[in-house]
Chain A
Amino acid sequence: MKSSAVAAKAPRYVNREPELIARVVAGDRLAARELYDAQAPRVHRLVFRMTGDADLARELTQEAFVRAFAQLDRFRGESALSTWLHRVTVSVVSNAMRKVKRFRERETDLDEALMIAESAREADPDLKEKLHRAIDELPEIYRTTLVMHDVEGYTHEEIASVLGVAEGTCKSRLSVARAQLREKLAPFAKEWLA
Chain B
Amino acid sequence: MTKHDEQIPELPEPLRSAAREYNKPPELSRADYDDMWSAIEAKAFTSDIGGRVRERKSAVRVAARRWFAPRAVLPIAATLLLGIALGRATAPAPNALPAIDVPRSMTQVDVQRVPAPYQATTSRYLGQTAALLVSLPAEVRADGPADAQFIGRAHDLLLTTRMLMDSPAADDGRIRSLLEDLELVLAQVVRIQSGPAQGKSDMELIRQALEQRDVMPRLRHAVADIAADN
12 additional A-B residue pairs with CB within 8 Å, beyond A40-B37, A127-B14: A29-B45, A32-B41, A58-B35, A62-B39, A62-B43, A127-B15, A132-B23, A150-B11, A150-B20, A175-B7, A175-B8, A192-B12
For chain B, the bracket of interface size reads: 35 or more
- Mask for B53-64, Cβ within 8 A of A = 1, else 0? 101100100000
B32, B43, B44 — which one has the most chain A CB atoms within 10 A of its CB? B44
Given A36-B37, A70-B44, A175-B7, A49-B12 contact (CB < 8 Å): no
> Shortest beta-carbon distance, A118 to chain B, in Å?
23
A32-B44, A66-B43 known; A181-B11 Cβ under 8 A = yes
Tell which of B18, B21, B49, B187 has the most Cβ of chain A within 10 Å. Answer: B18
Q: Is A147 an interface residue (CB 8 A)?
A: yes
Contact among A32, A40, A193 for B12, CB-based, below 8 A: A193
Q: Which of A45, A65, A178 contacts B11 (CB 8 A)?
A: A178
Total number of A-B contacts with CB less than 8 angstroms? 117
Within A55-91, the residues touching B (CB, 8 Å) are: 57-58, 61-62, 65-66, 69-70
Q: Is the CB of B22 within 8 A of A192?
A: no
Are B14 and A192 touching (Cβ within 8 A)?
yes
In the complex, the chain A residue whose C-beta lies closest to that of B39 is A62
- Cross-chain contact B20 with A151 (CB below 8 angstroms): yes
Which of A25, A37, A69, A132 touches B22 (beta carbons < 8 Å)? A132
Q: Pick from B12, B16, B44, B53: contact of A65, CB below 8 A.
A: B44
A residues sitting closer than 8 Å to B (CB atoms) are: 25-30, 32-33, 36-37, 40-41, 44-45, 48-52, 54, 57-58, 61-62, 65-66, 69-70, 127-128, 131-132, 135, 146-147, 150-151, 156, 168, 171, 174-175, 178-179, 181-182, 185, 191-193
Query: Taking A66-B40, A192-B14 as contacts, is the C-beta distance between A26 and B55 under 8 angstroms?
Result: yes
- Tell me the complex Cα distance, A175–B53, Å: 49
The dominant DSSP class at the A interface is helix
**What is the distance, in angstroms, from B95's C-beta to the closest C-beta of chain A?**
28
Q: Tell me which of B21, B33, B155 contacts A37 (CB under 8 A).
A: B33
Specify which chain B residues have a CB less than 8 angstroms from the CB of A52 in the assembled complex. 23
- The answer to whether B22 and A66 touch across the interface, beta carbons within 8 angstroms, is no
| Chain B residues closer than 8 Å to A193, beta-carbon distance | 12
Rounded to whole Å, the gap between the CB of B108 and the closest CB of chain A is 30
> What string of 1s and 0s marks CB contacts (under 8 Å) between B155-166 and chain A?
100110010000
CB pair A151–B22 under 8 Å, yes or no, is: yes
CB pairs A–B below 8 angstroms (20 shown): A26-B59, A27-B53, A27-B56, A30-B190, A36-B37, A40-B36, A40-B37, A44-B28, A48-B23, A49-B25, A65-B36, A65-B40, A65-B44, A127-B14, A131-B15, A147-B22, A150-B20, A171-B8, A175-B9, A181-B11
Residues of the B chain whose Cβ atoms lie less than 8 Å from the Cβ of A65: 36, 40, 44
Q: B7–A69 contact, CB under 8 A? A: no
A50, A61, A171, A192: the one within 8 Å of B23 (CB): A50
Name the interface residues of B39-83: CB closer than 8 Å to any CB of A: 39-41, 43-45, 49, 52-53, 55-56, 59
